[in-house]
């Protein structure tokens, strides 16, 4: 991993929505990076800031009311937050592409699949003929495993199944060979069998094409099967980051532990499924202290008054929890809190 180049670096990103009720910090001072050819997962409950993070990277935050108010998003060495909309359009779809969770809201119902794919190609590939663009579209439809690609070019989105529409969306995202693919809940609306096929397809394309993938999901099963590294978000902040294996073998933040314990396991019979009490707080509603404190079984006085930083508990593992502040919490205190 250390020998791979970073294709995306997010430094101190702050995305805020300005509403009649005040400023709402949806993404609050987050830092992360994506390596060339890596699959990185971002997980968390609804309202944690995952999708706003992806829209910030794509330059698609609705303005007003939303705005990136601080930080930088570096694609290679290019700061995307400083680009004009015209400059961003050259990057979007060509260098960085996105798959949205509901293809019927992204595909135009009035145009055939072929028309939409050809248009996407011609926007970015200047000088290409329509025939060459059509050949490329058919090639990429075959690449994502769609049968009778020639015939699909003449069909409309409503004539395709949900799984086929999602494959078309992946094909459209890959048609210009982007370096980065952002997938926002790409399997949410699909049944389990089709979900497995889409995830397998994304992993195969990642290996075959070398495309780096940022996978946004609330499904830990998807993360376990697909991602190399995981970022856990809560209330607009990153609260844990580590390689996938470490996250599942040794989750450190109480929120991450709760998420993993909440996943049903068919190997063990339980009278009740584990759940995390309470709900994700509204962005901006907590003015001081740890944002998870009200739901945390290990919270102590300091958690209510101070906002923890990300502590490095190993070279590749970080967690935002005072239990891992070695300077302020002794081993005995840590043990007493965990066992209480």
User: Residue 328: what pLDDT?
Assistant: 58
8: left (phi over 0), alpha (psi -120 to 50) or beta: beta
Mean pLDDT value across the chain: 88
pLDDT in tens, 236-264: 999 999 999 999 999 999 999 999 988 77
User: Residue 97: what pLDDT?
Assistant: 92
Three-state SS sequence of 219-244: CHHHHHHHCCEEEEEECCEEEEEEEH
User: Residue 340: what pLDDT?
Assistant: 52
Looking at residues 25-43, what average pLDDT do you find?
95
User: Residue 271: what pLDDT?
Assistant: 65
What is the per-residue DSSP string for 10-46?
EEEEEEEEEETTEEEEEEEEEEEEEETT-EEEEE--T
Interacting residues of 295 by C-beta distance below 8 A, sequence separation 6+: 255, 258, 276, 277, 278
Residue 336 reports pLDDT greater than 70: no
User: Residue 311: what pLDDT?
Assistant: 93
What is the CATH architecture of 1-95+180-266? 3-Layer(aba) Sandwich (3.40)
pLDDT in tens, 144-193: 888 899 999 999 999 998 888 888 988 888 888 889 999 998 877 677 88
Looking at residues 140-147, what average pLDDT do you find?
88
Task: State the span(s) of the chain assigned CATH 3.40.50.300.
Answer: 1-95+180-266
pLDDT in tens, 94-133: 899 998 877 667 789 999 999 999 998 888 887 899 999 9
What is the percent of the chain with per-residue pLDDT over 90, rounded to a whole number? 54
């Amino acid at each position: 991993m250390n020998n791979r180049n970073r294709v995306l670096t997010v430094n101190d990103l702050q995305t805020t929505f300005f509403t009649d009720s005040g400023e709402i910090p949806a993404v609050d001072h987050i830092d992360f990076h994506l390596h060339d050819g890596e699959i990185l997962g971002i997980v968390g409950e609804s309202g944690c800031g995952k999708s706003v993070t992806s829209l910030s990277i794509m330059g698609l935050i609705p303005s007003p009311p939303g705005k990136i108010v601080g930080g930088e998003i570096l694609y290679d060495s290019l700061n995307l937050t400083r680009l004009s909309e015209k400059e961003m359009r050259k990057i979007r779809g060509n260098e960085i592409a996105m798959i949205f969770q509901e293809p019927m809201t992204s595909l135009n119902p009035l145009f055939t699949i072929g028309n939409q794919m050809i248009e996407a190609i011609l926007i970015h590939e200047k000088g290409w003929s329509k025939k060459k663009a059509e050949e490329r579209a058919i090639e990429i439809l075959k690449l994502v495993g769609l049968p009778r690609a020639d015939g699909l070019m003449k069909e409309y989105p409503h004539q395709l199944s949900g799984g086929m529409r999602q494959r078309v969306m992946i094909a459209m995202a890959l048609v210009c060979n982007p370096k980065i693919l952002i997938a926002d809940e790409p399997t949410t609306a699909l049944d389990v069998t089709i979900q497995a096929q889409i995830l397998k397809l994304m992993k195969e394309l990642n290996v075959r094409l070398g495309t780096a993938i940022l996978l946004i999901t609330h499904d830990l099963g998807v993360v376990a099967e697909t991602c190399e590294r995981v970022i856990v978000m809560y209330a607009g902040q990153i609260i844990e980051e580590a390689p996938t294996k470490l996250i599942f073998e040794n989750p450190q933040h109480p929120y991450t532990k709760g998420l993993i314990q909440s996943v049903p396991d068919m190997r063990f019979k339980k009278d009740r499924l584990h759940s995390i009490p309470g709900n994700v707080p509204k962005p901006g509603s907590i003015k001081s202290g740890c944002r998870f404190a009200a739901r945390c079984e290990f919270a102590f006085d300091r958690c209510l008054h101070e906002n923890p930083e990300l502590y490095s508990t190993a070279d590749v593992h970080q967690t935002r929890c005072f239990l891992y502040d070695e300077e302020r919490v002794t081993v005995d205190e840590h043990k007493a809190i965990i066992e209480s």
